[in-house]
Structure 1
Amino acid sequence: MEAIHPNTQIGLVSLKVADFGRSLPFYTRNIGLMLLSQEDNTAVLGTTERPLLELIQQSGATPSGGTTGLYHFALLVPNRAELARTFKNLVETRTQFEGFSDHSVSEAIYLGDPDGNGIEIYRDRSRDKWPMVNGRLQMNTLPLDLESLTGELNGRDEPWTGIYPGTVMGHIHLHVRDLDEAEAFYCDTLGFERVMRYGSAAGFVSAGGYHHHIGLNTWAGRGVPPAPPEATGLRHYQILLPNQPALNAVAERLTMNGIAYESQEDRLIVRDPSQNEIAMKVTS
């Protein structure tokens, strides 16, 4: 089976939120994204280099637990100093944290937005430092050394000007209804590589040898349904391919496997078996 193009990346993530009045200040002030555009009930946020997040305001929407959908999206900053700078701003804006982890391949900060949408902000270690066990990449969940992290700033107190402009959407982590089913779709059909399992209820897949572009878990329960339309949470996310032949190859594999998709101008829209919607497009 042909692997998905090694330069495949995760792109913009689209979320439903209940109230721009609380969401936009959180994402601009606490996270440090720029408001790139806003029209009616749609706002796009990101950096000077790229859009990263689309928010759709749906008044009255409430979080829905025990469903498929978003576990978290993950913003990747380029180095430890930028992670430290971002952490300092999160502390100064009194952001509530949900956890801190050293995954051996990366260091990560976890939090949630006002609607409970999960967020990870992380930095990668260089690939030559990623631990391998019997030829397989091994990720761990260890405590993050926050004292060492803040030490990266060397006492500097530079004014906060927002998250690093080169920040990208490093990966996305999804609730799915069945792990084997989800891995079969993402790997055997789309062409991602199986990286590792984390216990019996989570798995990680990637392109080009990355530690993971997509996390999959059944922590919300096996066989859970999609979130109802009135719920906050994931609308869709983008998988970015570097050229049209790479996108065409995915379309061919979907057709061969009898999986329905919708073709649009520069993208194809498909749902995974858990009904998480994906927009696959060529990098613009």
Structure 2
Amino acid sequence: MTNASPSDGSLTDDTHLGRVALRVGSLDRVVPFYRDVVGLEAERERDGSRAVLSAGETPVVVLDEDPDAPERGRREAGLFHLAVRVPDRGALGDVLSRARTRATDAGATLSGASDHLVSEALYFRDPEGNGVEVYYDRPREEWPWTDDRRVSMDTLALDLGSLADDAAGGDRAPDGTDLGHVHLEVTNVPRSRDFYVDALGMRVRDEGYPSASFVAAGEYHHHVGLNSWNTRSAPAGEGRGIEWFEVVVPDAATLDAVRESLVDGGHEFDEGGFGGDEPGDGDAAGAAGATDSLVISDPDGIEIRVVHGR
């Protein structure tokens, strides 16, 4: 397959997200939710100050503990929610079943449940207030497509009784679970949208919601959501919340195209190799199994790691 470069219009469908990292005040407080409700396996690293949460061999969420990190400022840009994608409706039903029996003990709340036409989703707040969506995608042939090959998403009520009936009975997130998208609160939606489209090579997929834009590589419904619903007016800070997320491209040629686009657009970025103390904190490429990486901040200071080789 020949991959389109950003200057050609967009990344292709074989680009996906890798991991998302959150800065948290206490791993002991936060890990039980991701382990016992979402169903991810937890492994401690860095002398216990980091937890990597995975589904089988796929790392999904990284939690870095910093007891001194302040809460995110009310005006600061940052995470609206991260979205863990499970492979089917039965797995989502299992999350609902676990939530009903374990969420309270894990210090989390089920805050919503929606049918988005392209997907069905459950929404949570983790014990430190980070938004977490768990969802599965309907088959693409069932998605509502527009004449220009965008998608039409909506927010409808989800039948929790039907979802519970379809639970598969699993206690862990199954193979095929990964990070489907991140949804960010930004200070200026058009500016952020233009960055993800013009600099990184994503496409606008849906702008049917007020004050929001959804962009993706290829024809996915969205890899990054952007909204200004809560009127954030300051860039992301050093408090709790999102640290970085990964965009995984399929090959070195695609990474080179992104690099060229960043240079042409006058965007500053760092480059990292495999492991070592590289820009961004050194393990972006190594821990993802990548052989090269670009580290860049979006217009609100949220770090993005573009990697390949996974």
* TM-score above 0.5: yes
Aligned to 1:10: 17
**C-alpha contact 1:52 1:168 (8 A) present in aligned 2:** yes
Q: Which moved more, 1:101-110 or 1:193-202?
A: 193-202
- Partner secondary structure for residue 112 of structure 2: strand
- In 1, the alpha carbon distance for the partners of 2:159 and 2:185 equals 28
**C-alpha contact 1:62 1:115 (8 A) present in aligned 2:** no
- 1:273 corresponds to which of 270, 292, 299: 299
Shift of 1:31: 1.8
Kindly indicate whether residue 249 of structure 2 is the aligned counterpart of residue 201 of structure 1: no
Alignment: residue pair count? 278
Aligned to 1:189: 199
- 2:65 corresponds to which of 43, 53, 57: 57
Aligned to 2:278: none
- 1:121 corresponds to which of 118, 121, 134: 134
Equivalent positions of 1:155-234 (< 5 A) are 158=169, 160-221=170-231, 224-229=233-238, 231-234=239-242
Aligned to 1:78: 87
Aligned to 2:279: none
TM-score by length of 1: 0.93
- In 2, the alpha carbon distance for the partners of 1:124 and 1:87 equals 16
Shift of 1:242: 0.8
- In 2, the alpha carbon distance for the partners of 1:119 and 1:215 equals 13
Aligned to 2:76: 67
Identity %: 36
Aligned to 1:263: 271
Letter in structure 1 aligned against 2:42: L
- In 2, the alpha carbon distance for the partners of 1:167 and 1:263 equals 29
Q: CA RMSD in A?
A: 1.5
Segments of 4+ in structure 1 off by > 3 A? 133-136
Q: Which has the higher strand share?
A: 1
Give unpaired runs (5+ residues) of structure 2. 1-6, 274-291
Letter in structure 1 aligned against 2:224: I
Greater RCO structure (CA 8 Å; 6+ sep): 1
- In 2, the alpha carbon distance for the partners of 1:228 and 1:249 equals 30
- In 1, the alpha carbon distance for the partners of 2:103 and 2:27 equals 19
- In 2, the alpha carbon distance for the partners of 1:213 and 1:252 equals 22
- In 2, the alpha carbon distance for the partners of 1:162 and 1:57 equals 24
TM-score by length of 2: 0.86
Shift of 1:188: 1.6
- In 2, the alpha carbon distance for the partners of 1:83 and 1:235 equals 27
- In 2, the alpha carbon distance for the partners of 1:33 and 1:9 equals 19
Letter in structure 2 aligned against 1:139: M
Shift of 1:199: 3.1
